[in-house]
Amino acid sequence: MPADLIISIAGTELAVAEREQLEHPAICGLILFKKNFKNRKQVAELITEIKNSSVTELEISVDQEGGRVQRFSNGFSNLPALATYGEQWHEQPAQALDAAYAHGLTTGRQCSAVGVSVVYSPVVDLDWGLSEVIGNRAFHRDPEVVGQLAKAMMLGLHDGGVVAVAKHFPGHGGVAADSHTEGAVDQRGLAALQEDMAPYPVLIEAGLKAVMMAHVQFPRIDPLEAGYSNFWVNQLKKKLGFSGDIYCDDLSMVGAHSAGSLIDRVMLTREAGCNRLLLCNFSVEEKAGLLAELY
Residue 125's Cβ-count burial label (10 Å; 0-12, 13-18, 19+) is buried
Catalytic-labelled residue, pool 125, 196, 245, 249: 249
Distance CA 153, CA 189 (A): 29
Antiparallel, parallel or unpaired: β 69-70 and 64-66: antiparallel
Catalytic-labelled residue, pool 98, 178, 180, 257: 180
Nearest to 229 by CA among 187, 126, 237: 237
Whether 215 is catalytic is no
Nearest to 82 by CA among 148, 20, 130: 148
Amino acid found at 294: L
Report yes or no: 5 and 28 within 8 Å, Cβ to Cβ: yes
Give the chain's count of helices (H) and strands (E).
10, 12
Distance CA 206, CA 184 (A): 30
Residues 6+ apart with CB under 8 A from 121: 63, 64, 65, 66, 104, 107, 153, 157, 164, 165, 167
Total residues belonging to the chain: 295
Whether 250 is catalytic is no
| Positions marked active-site | 180, 249
